[in-house]
Structure 1
Amino acid sequence: MPEQTAAIWFSTPSVETLNLKAEATLNQNLGIEVTGFTDTALQGKMPVDERTVQPAGVLHGGASVAFAETLASWAGYLVVDSSRFHVVGQEINANHLRPGIAGQFVYGEATPIQLGRRSHVWQIHIRNESGKLVCISRCTLAVIDLPGQYATKEERA
């Protein structure tokens, strides 16, 4: 029998709530949507259209990286107590393996490699509609205190 793993999420708002929070942001401008969760992954999709292609008519590598960091950032945000912490991108890399084809969607899934107290490392697989890998990315997030959450001098003493 496979070992059961506990869900990694501190909170799991609805997909609709996350997508509403993305209005008037890069996410909306590129057509990025969160589509679902598993116990250990966050999933989304992005169109390959005039917003996300390069002049040759295939998915722009920068759009893939923006999609990957968006999924990792949402996932990191949902893992931490957002009343105390926030996550910000610290480093990202990507290997572009095949072109994303205009007129289709690409689908991404962010899964954790390491969830530390002050940093997370997420792996993001981006696939085409046939399920073939288009891009694999790794994103490191810094977990930072929200402003006002820093300990006072008296509290540190």
Structure 2
Amino acid sequence: MDKIKTLATLNNLNKNTLMETLEIEFVDVGEDFVIAKMPVNSKVYQPYGILHGGATAALAETVGSCASVLFINAKTKIVKGIELSISHIKSKKEGFVFGIAKPIHKGRTTHLWEIKILDEENNLISICKLTNIVLDKQ
């Protein structure tokens, strides 16, 4: 895997999407993980001035779905998220959060990912589980 090319491809997919609005950026990728970061600022706040759980969920689904895409033949298959569960552990007011997706199961038709949302000091902000379905392109 060419890490630089893969990260550039993933980041180019973000143009004109929610990911661009939330400033989500892929920062690392390997054989069994994908990492993206998102700034915590007023764009992602809820009314109390802390990270909104929906923005956290968007980061989790983004990193987990893109991780699945790396393990399929994207010319003939597509990935869609079918279930996301998330538990919020700690709040965050500023800085960055990082979504780290690691596989629990990579089957032929379903993928299950554990996504940890961490801050810059490796504090656990949220823990997520994402199930993706792998479908034939039509």
Normalized against structure 2, the TM-score is what?
A: 0.95
Distance 1:39 1:17 in 2: 16
Report the equivalent of 2:107: 116
Distance 2:88 2:74 in 1: 32
Report the equivalent of 1:60: 52
Report the equivalent of 1:82: 74
1:92 aligns with 2:97: no
* CA positional deviation for 1:38: 2.1
1:17 aligns with 2:4: no
Letter of the aligned partner of 1:32 in structure 2?
Answer: I
Distance 2:121 2:115 in 1: 17
SS in 1 for 2:44: coil
In percent, how many aligned pairs have the same letter? 36
Distance 1:127 1:100 in 2: 10
Letter of the aligned partner of 2:130 in structure 1?
Answer: C
Segments of 4+ moved more than 2 angstroms: 11-14
SS in 2 for 1:117: coil
Distance 1:67 1:137 in 2: 10
Unaligned runs of 5+ in 1: 1-8, 148-157
The structure whose residues are more often strand, as a share, is 2
Report the equivalent of 2:122: 131
Report the equivalent of 1:34: 26
* CA positional deviation for 1:17: 2.0
SS in 1 for 2:16: coil
Distance 1:50 1:145 in 2: 39
Distance 2:57 2:11 in 1: 19
Normalized against structure 1, the TM-score is what?
A: 0.83
SS in 2 for 1:51: helix
Distance 2:98 2:57 in 1: 13
* CA positional deviation for 1:55: 1.0
Unaligned runs of 5+ in 2: none
* CA positional deviation for 1:72: 0.4
Report the equivalent of 1:5: none
